[in-house]
Amino acid sequence: MDTFQPDPRAAMDFYGPLFGWSFDDPTSMPAQLEGEYFAARLGGRLVAGIGQAPPLSPPVWNTYVRVDDVAQTLARAEQAGGTLLAGSFGACSDGRLAVVADATGVPFSLLQAGDSDGARVFDEPNSWAMSSLHTTDADRARDFYGALFDWELGPVPGAAFSLWRRSGEVVAVMTATDGAVVPPHWSVNFAVRDADSTAEHAMALGGTVLMAPMNTPGFRNAVIGDPQGGFIAVSAAVS
Protein backbone atom coordinates (compact mmCIF):
# COMPACT_ATOMS: atom_id res chain seq x y z
CA MET A 1 0.00 0.00 0.00
CA ASP A 2 0.94 3.61 -0.41
CA THR A 3 -0.63 7.04 -0.19
CA PHE A 4 -0.94 9.84 -2.73
CA GLN A 5 -1.05 13.25 -1.07
CA PRO A 6 -1.42 16.86 -2.30
CA ASP A 7 1.86 17.63 -0.49
CA PRO A 8 3.99 14.47 -0.15
CA ARG A 9 6.68 16.16 1.94
CA ALA A 10 4.09 17.39 4.45
CA ALA A 11 2.76 13.83 4.65
CA MET A 12 6.30 12.62 5.37
CA ASP A 13 6.47 15.10 8.24
CA PHE A 14 3.39 13.43 9.73
CA TYR A 15 3.87 9.72 9.05
CA GLY A 16 7.63 9.72 9.61
CA PRO A 17 7.46 10.75 13.28
CA LEU A 18 4.18 8.89 13.86
CA PHE A 19 5.57 5.50 12.82
CA GLY A 20 9.33 6.00 12.96
CA TRP A 21 9.68 5.77 9.19
CA SER A 22 12.65 7.03 7.20
CA PHE A 23 12.41 7.93 3.52
CA ASP A 24 14.55 7.32 0.45
CA ASP A 25 15.48 10.12 -1.88
CA PRO A 26 12.59 10.93 -4.23
CA THR A 27 12.05 9.10 -7.47
CA SER A 28 9.86 10.16 -10.38
CA MET A 29 6.27 9.02 -10.65
CA PRO A 30 5.27 6.97 -13.74
CA ALA A 31 5.33 8.93 -16.99
CA GLN A 32 1.53 9.24 -17.01
CA LEU A 33 1.65 10.99 -13.63
CA GLU A 34 3.65 13.93 -12.31
CA GLY A 35 5.57 14.61 -9.14
CA GLU A 36 7.82 12.83 -6.68
CA TYR A 37 7.49 9.49 -4.93
CA PHE A 38 9.19 8.59 -1.66
CA ALA A 39 9.73 5.02 -0.48
CA ALA A 40 9.20 4.71 3.28
CA ARG A 41 11.31 2.35 5.35
CA LEU A 42 11.14 0.84 8.81
CA GLY A 43 14.40 -0.61 10.04
CA GLY A 44 15.78 -0.40 6.51
CA ARG A 45 12.99 -2.43 4.93
CA LEU A 46 10.26 -1.08 2.64
CA VAL A 47 7.05 -0.41 4.54
CA ALA A 48 5.01 2.03 2.42
CA GLY A 49 5.27 4.86 -0.10
CA ILE A 50 4.16 8.48 -0.35
CA GLY A 51 3.54 10.03 -3.77
CA GLN A 52 2.16 13.14 -5.42
CA ALA A 53 -1.62 13.14 -5.80
CA PRO A 54 -2.99 14.40 -9.14
CA PRO A 55 -4.16 18.03 -9.13
CA LEU A 56 -7.40 18.61 -7.17
CA SER A 57 -7.44 14.98 -5.98
CA PRO A 58 -7.95 14.28 -2.26
CA PRO A 59 -5.39 12.29 -0.30
CA VAL A 60 -5.95 8.55 -0.47
CA TRP A 61 -4.36 5.35 0.79
CA ASN A 62 -4.10 2.67 -1.92
CA THR A 63 -4.26 -1.10 -1.47
CA TYR A 64 -2.28 -3.17 -3.97
CA VAL A 65 -2.75 -6.84 -4.74
CA ARG A 66 0.38 -8.55 -6.01
CA VAL A 67 -0.12 -10.55 -9.21
CA ASP A 68 2.09 -12.50 -11.58
CA ASP A 69 0.93 -10.68 -14.71
CA VAL A 70 -0.95 -7.36 -14.71
CA ALA A 71 -2.21 -7.72 -18.29
CA GLN A 72 -3.71 -11.15 -17.69
CA THR A 73 -5.26 -10.03 -14.40
CA LEU A 74 -6.81 -6.97 -16.08
CA ALA A 75 -8.46 -9.23 -18.63
CA ARG A 76 -9.94 -11.39 -15.85
CA ALA A 77 -11.04 -8.29 -13.93
CA GLU A 78 -13.02 -7.01 -16.91
CA GLN A 79 -14.63 -10.42 -17.39
CA ALA A 80 -15.66 -10.35 -13.70
CA GLY A 81 -17.26 -6.92 -14.04
CA GLY A 82 -14.34 -4.66 -13.09
CA THR A 83 -13.16 -1.53 -14.90
CA LEU A 84 -9.67 -0.29 -15.68
CA LEU A 85 -9.19 3.19 -14.19
CA ALA A 86 -5.51 3.84 -14.92
CA GLY A 87 -2.46 2.02 -16.26
CA SER A 88 -0.77 -0.12 -16.66
CA PHE A 89 2.33 1.85 -15.60
CA GLY A 90 5.94 0.96 -15.04
CA ALA A 91 6.70 0.54 -11.32
CA CYS A 92 9.44 -0.72 -9.00
CA SER A 93 12.05 -0.23 -11.74
CA ASP A 94 11.02 -3.37 -13.63
CA GLY A 95 7.46 -4.02 -12.44
CA ARG A 96 4.04 -2.79 -13.51
CA LEU A 97 0.91 -1.51 -11.80
CA ALA A 98 -2.67 -0.65 -12.72
CA VAL A 99 -5.68 0.84 -10.94
CA VAL A 100 -8.98 -1.05 -11.21
CA ALA A 101 -12.54 -0.53 -9.95
CA ASP A 102 -14.12 -3.74 -8.73
CA ALA A 103 -17.60 -4.81 -9.81
CA THR A 104 -19.14 -2.53 -7.15
CA GLY A 105 -17.06 0.51 -8.20
CA VAL A 106 -14.46 0.48 -5.39
CA PRO A 107 -10.92 1.18 -6.65
CA PHE A 108 -7.83 -0.85 -5.79
CA SER A 109 -4.48 -1.47 -7.46
CA LEU A 110 -2.63 -4.39 -9.04
CA LEU A 111 1.13 -4.74 -8.71
CA GLN A 112 3.36 -6.95 -10.81
CA ALA A 113 6.53 -6.61 -8.77
CA GLY A 114 9.95 -6.63 -10.40
CA ASP A 115 13.14 -8.30 -9.31
CA SER A 116 14.28 -5.09 -7.58
CA ASP A 117 11.17 -4.87 -5.38
CA GLY A 118 13.25 -5.41 -2.23
CA ALA A 119 12.53 -6.72 1.26
CA ARG A 120 9.32 -5.51 2.88
CA VAL A 121 8.09 -5.44 6.45
CA PHE A 122 4.47 -6.02 7.46
CA ASP A 123 2.39 -7.16 10.43
CA GLU A 124 4.90 -5.66 12.86
CA PRO A 125 4.39 -2.51 14.95
CA ASN A 126 4.27 0.59 12.72
CA SER A 127 3.74 -1.43 9.54
CA TRP A 128 0.79 -2.62 7.44
CA ALA A 129 -1.40 -5.18 9.18
CA MET A 130 -4.36 -5.64 6.83
CA SER A 131 -6.59 -4.05 4.22
CA SER A 132 -10.36 -4.09 4.58
CA LEU A 133 -13.03 -3.65 1.93
CA HIS A 134 -16.07 -1.66 3.04
CA THR A 135 -18.80 -2.39 0.51
CA THR A 136 -22.54 -1.88 0.01
CA ASP A 137 -22.83 -5.08 -2.05
CA ALA A 138 -21.18 -7.96 -0.22
CA ASP A 139 -22.45 -10.65 -2.59
CA ARG A 140 -21.18 -8.92 -5.71
CA ALA A 141 -17.83 -8.17 -4.07
CA ARG A 142 -17.50 -11.81 -2.97
CA ASP A 143 -18.12 -13.03 -6.51
CA PHE A 144 -15.71 -10.50 -8.07
CA TYR A 145 -12.71 -11.12 -5.85
CA GLY A 146 -13.36 -14.83 -5.79
CA ALA A 147 -13.30 -14.99 -9.59
CA LEU A 148 -10.29 -12.68 -9.90
CA PHE A 149 -7.99 -13.96 -7.13
CA ASP A 150 -9.51 -17.28 -5.97
CA TRP A 151 -10.29 -15.68 -2.61
CA GLU A 152 -12.85 -17.48 -0.45
CA LEU A 153 -15.02 -15.42 1.89
CA GLY A 154 -16.05 -16.81 5.25
CA PRO A 155 -17.82 -15.37 8.30
CA VAL A 156 -16.25 -14.77 11.69
CA PRO A 157 -18.57 -15.95 14.49
CA GLY A 158 -19.82 -13.01 16.52
CA ALA A 159 -18.05 -10.43 14.33
CA ALA A 160 -19.45 -7.81 11.97
CA PHE A 161 -16.89 -8.62 9.30
CA SER A 162 -15.84 -11.56 7.14
CA LEU A 163 -12.41 -12.84 6.17
CA TRP A 164 -11.09 -13.59 2.73
CA ARG A 165 -8.71 -16.52 2.52
CA ARG A 166 -6.58 -17.95 -0.25
CA SER A 167 -5.17 -21.44 0.19
CA GLY A 168 -6.27 -21.21 3.82
CA GLU A 169 -4.36 -17.99 4.56
CA VAL A 170 -6.18 -14.78 5.50
CA VAL A 171 -5.52 -12.14 2.81
CA ALA A 172 -8.12 -9.42 3.47
CA VAL A 173 -11.20 -8.37 5.43
CA MET A 174 -14.66 -7.36 4.23
CA THR A 175 -17.29 -5.32 6.08
CA ALA A 176 -20.76 -4.53 4.78
CA THR A 177 -21.74 -0.85 4.99
CA ASP A 178 -24.80 1.15 3.99
CA GLY A 179 -22.51 3.65 2.26
CA ALA A 180 -23.73 6.61 4.32
CA VAL A 181 -21.63 6.80 7.49
CA VAL A 182 -18.79 4.76 5.94
CA PRO A 183 -18.52 5.12 2.15
CA PRO A 184 -17.40 2.12 0.06
CA HIS A 185 -13.59 1.94 -0.01
CA TRP A 186 -10.54 -0.19 0.74
CA SER A 187 -9.08 0.94 4.07
CA VAL A 188 -5.59 0.21 5.38
CA ASN A 189 -4.76 -0.76 8.94
CA PHE A 190 -1.41 -0.42 10.67
CA ALA A 191 -0.25 -2.48 13.62
CA VAL A 192 0.88 -0.39 16.60
CA ARG A 193 2.01 -1.14 20.13
CA ASP A 194 -0.47 1.25 21.77
CA ALA A 195 -3.52 2.64 19.95
CA ASP A 196 -4.16 5.33 22.58
CA SER A 197 -0.65 6.78 22.48
CA THR A 198 -0.61 6.59 18.68
CA ALA A 199 -3.85 8.58 18.52
CA GLU A 200 -2.44 11.18 20.93
CA HIS A 201 0.77 11.42 18.90
CA ALA A 202 -1.23 11.90 15.70
CA MET A 203 -3.08 14.85 17.20
CA ALA A 204 0.17 16.38 18.42
CA LEU A 205 1.47 16.17 14.82
CA GLY A 206 -1.57 18.04 13.49
CA GLY A 207 -3.79 15.06 12.68
CA THR A 208 -7.25 14.18 13.92
CA VAL A 209 -8.90 11.19 15.54
CA LEU A 210 -11.94 10.11 13.54
CA MET A 211 -12.72 7.14 15.80
CA ALA A 212 -11.48 7.26 19.38
CA PRO A 213 -9.64 4.16 20.62
CA MET A 214 -12.09 1.33 21.28
CA ASN A 215 -11.87 -2.37 22.05
CA THR A 216 -12.81 -5.25 19.76
CA PRO A 217 -12.05 -8.92 20.48
CA GLY A 218 -8.27 -9.14 20.75
CA PHE A 219 -7.52 -5.57 19.65
CA ARG A 220 -7.74 -1.91 20.59
CA ASN A 221 -8.42 0.18 17.48
CA ALA A 222 -8.61 3.79 16.34
CA VAL A 223 -9.08 5.66 13.07
CA ILE A 224 -6.71 8.57 12.46
CA GLY A 225 -6.84 11.40 9.95
CA ASP A 226 -3.64 12.99 8.67
CA PRO A 227 -3.34 16.80 8.32
CA GLN A 228 -4.28 16.70 4.61
CA GLY A 229 -7.39 14.56 5.13
CA GLY A 230 -6.19 11.02 4.45
CA PHE A 231 -7.13 8.42 7.02
CA ILE A 232 -5.87 5.10 8.36
CA ALA A 233 -6.86 2.61 11.03
CA VAL A 234 -4.45 1.48 13.75
CA SER A 235 -4.74 -1.64 15.88
CA ALA A 236 -2.88 -2.86 18.94
CA ALA A 237 -3.14 -6.47 20.05
CA VAL A 238 -4.42 -6.87 23.61
CA SER A 239 -4.52 -9.92 25.83
pLDDT digit string (tens) for 174-190? 988 887 778 899 999 99
Give the chain's end-to-end CA distance (angstroms, integer): 28
Q: Where in the chain is the domain with CATH 3.10.180.10?
A: 2-112, 127-237
The answer to whether the CB of 193 falls within 8 A of the CB of 237 is no
**Range name among 45-59, 73-87, 148-162, 191-205 with the lowest pLDDT average:** 148-162
Q: Which residues pair with 172 in a beta bridge?
A: 164
Closest residue by Cα to residue 153 from 172, 176, 179, 137: 172
Helix (H/G/I), strand (E/B), else coil: 45: strand
Closest residue by Cα to residue 173 from 183, 160, 157: 160
Indicate the helix (H) or strand (E) that contains 192. Answer: none
Sign of CA dihedral 161, 212, 57, 3: negative
Integer angstrom CA distances of residue 74 from 5, 79, 108, 149, 152: 26, 9, 12, 11, 20
User: Taking residues 92-97, what's their average pLDDT?
Assistant: 68
**Range name among 37-46, 93-102, 133-142 with the lowest pLDDT average:** 93-102
Domain 2-112's class?
A: alpha beta
Sign of CA dihedral 4, 6, 196, 211: negative
Which pLDDT score is estimated for 26? Answer: 85
- Fold that domain 127-237 belongs to in CATH: 2,3-Dihydroxybiphenyl 1,2-Dioxygenase; domain 1 (3.10.180)
